[in-house]
């Protein structure tokens, strides 16, 4: 199941969706394109580091 960034707006914005719950990786796609978007697959550890960085930078 895809989860849209809390920063996305009704028009799609410039944000991403992530499919949490996959084993060992996090698929990420552009929220504007939805199902037609290409998917970037990120290892769990890299996703955790990335989101931790974003929380600290906010």
Concatenated DSSP letters for 18-46?
A: EETT-SSEEEEEETTTGGGS-EEEEEHHH
pLDDT digits (tens, 9 = 90+) for 4-54: 877 666 665 668 899 988 899 999 999 888 889 999 999 999 999 999 998
More confident residue, 58 or 56: 56
Which residue shows structure tokens 């809390």? Answer: 6
Which residue shows structure tokens 């410039």? Answer: 14
Q: Tell me phi and psi for residue 54, to 5 degrees.
A: -60, -40
Task: Please provide the distance, in angstroms rounded to a whole number, between the alpha carbons at the two ends of the chain.
Answer: 26
pTM over 0.85: no
Q: Which helix (H) or strand (E) holds 17?
A: strand 16-19
């Amino acid at each position: 199941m895809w989860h849209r960034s809390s920063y996305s707006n009704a028009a799609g914005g410039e944000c991403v969706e992530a499919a949490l719950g996959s084993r060992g990786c996090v698929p990420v796609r552009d929220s504007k394109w939805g199902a037609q978007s290409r998917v970037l697959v990120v290892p769990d550890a890299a996703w955790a580091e990335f989101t931790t960085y974003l929380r600290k930078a906010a």
